[in-house]
Structure 1
Amino acid sequence: MTDPTVRTTTPRSGRLKLVLIMLVFLAPIVAAGLLTLSGWQPQGKGNGQPIVPQRSLAGVRVEVDGQPWAWRDVEPRLTLVALPGPDCAVRCVHTLGLMRNARIVLNRNADRLRLLYLGGAPTAAGADAVMAAYKVGSDPADAFGEFRPTEPDSVAAVLVESNATALSYYPAGFDPNGLRKDLQKVIR
């Protein structure tokens, strides 16, 4: 005689539960695959403009103190390339100072960002104090010409990954506070 209070499960209900559990885990994977195949990609909320198509700067020769700049450093470090327009003066030096401050705000991770200035020396008062944080170099092949601003007393920037890939571009007049936020997201 069987006890009516004991419930027996059939193999069919066990299989149904297993299939439902598998569907719960499989559904997000299938949804992500469908979104990717449809061409949708999530967009980050970075303040810089993405460089599309991404390009490698490994072959770009930049000279600093007569030596080629090592895009791929011994440690993985990003490079923020400052590109001044003609006649870098007061406004340009002010922006360069804010870019330097964005590096300082990284605290213990500040060493993971190198500052590179490509252009003629700034002429404004106090420029020497700001430029002490930068490596000053030249771009003989003008590889950064398309990113360099044409308006006087301005500066643009390009953020370069440690593998020499140009990540994002900050055109003249960019918000240095937005650059700081981007650097804090990228460098951890």
Structure 2
Amino acid sequence: MKPVDPVALRKSRMYLLLIALVFAAPMIIAGLLSFTGWQPGVKGNGHAILPQRNFVDEKLQVKLDNGQTWPWRDSEPRLTLVALAGPDCAAHCFDTLTGIAKARVMLNRNQARLRLLYVGTPPADAGRRVAMQTYWSLGRDVDGKLATYAPATPDSVSAVLVESNGTALSLYPAGFDGPGLLRDLQKVIK
């Protein structure tokens, strides 16, 4: 048996440690970042609703134009995006609502997993109201329990994303980012 060269042995051990470090470094860095509280991609564009509210437990009633009450718990697991209009919903408000409807369409095959509910006075223009009814269910908040989420600014819209069990997840205040809303929807609707 040939004697082992201590220099070659040290060199091969060093290569083995370097290879192990190359594979372990990303996990170590990710662990350190997670430990310090930084996590990539977990922040949504909406504001978390805290403390959480469950509209079913609160018996929050939205009366639809057809006289029925909005079912927060659906027969299928579908989320609801509630649009709340500020005073005097007009052109800007309608454009925002159209953008939300487009975001729903962009969910492609998953668009059926999102229901759109408009709460408030629809635009006065009859043509806009008819156009809205294509994508939106129109209703009013019977007891005013959603008033805290409605914007005070005229011709504006805020939105609340509600889980299929009636739990309010996030608020998108007036002036929210439409593409950001779509990214959030794509994350939660799969």
Question: Given residue 60 of structure 1, which amino acid in structure 2 is its aligned partner?
Answer: L
Structure 1 gaps, min length 5? 5-27
Give me the whole-angstrom Cα distance separating, in 2, the residues matched to 1:123 and 1:176.
24
- Quickly say closer, same or farther: Cα 1:131–1:176, change in 2 above 3 A: farther
* 3-state secondary structure, aligned to 1:81: strand
What is residue 161 of structure 2 aligned with on the other side? Answer: 159
Question: 4+ residue stretches of structure 1 with deviation over 6 A?
Answer: none
* 3-state secondary structure, aligned to 2:97: helix
Question: Given residue 47 of structure 1, which amino acid in structure 2 is its aligned partner?
Answer: N
Q: Shift of residue 125 of structure 1?
A: 7.2
Q: 1:168 aligns with which of 170, 174, 188?
A: 170
* 3-state secondary structure, aligned to 2:147: coil
Deviations 1:137-162 (A, max 9, x none): 11010111000001110000000000
Structure 2 gaps, min length 5? 2-27
For normalisation by structure 2, the TM-score amounts to 0.76
What is residue 22 of structure 1 aligned with on the other side? Answer: none
Determine whether 1:140 maps to 2:139.
Answer: no
Q: What is the number of residues matched between the two proteins?
A: 159
What is residue 50 of structure 2 aligned with on the other side? Answer: 52
Deviations 1:48-76 (A, max 9, x none): 01101111010211111211111010000
Question: Given residue 162 of structure 2, which amino acid in structure 1 is its aligned partner?
Answer: V
Question: Given residue 53 of structure 2, which amino acid in structure 1 is its aligned partner?
Answer: R
For normalisation by structure 1, the TM-score amounts to 0.76
Deviations 1:100-136 (A, max 9, x none): 0010001111000000001112124751223321000
Indicate conservation of the 8 Å contact 1:89/1:122, yes or no. yes
Q: Shift of residue 44 of structure 1?
A: 2.2
Alignment RMSD: 2.3
Q: 1:180 aligns with which of 149, 162, 182?
A: 182
Question: Given residue 153 of structure 1, which amino acid in structure 2 is its aligned partner?
Answer: D
Indicate conservation of the 8 Å contact 1:83/1:149, yes or no. yes
Taking only the aligned residue pairs, the percentage that are identical comes to 53
What is residue 5 of structure 2 aligned with on the other side? Answer: none
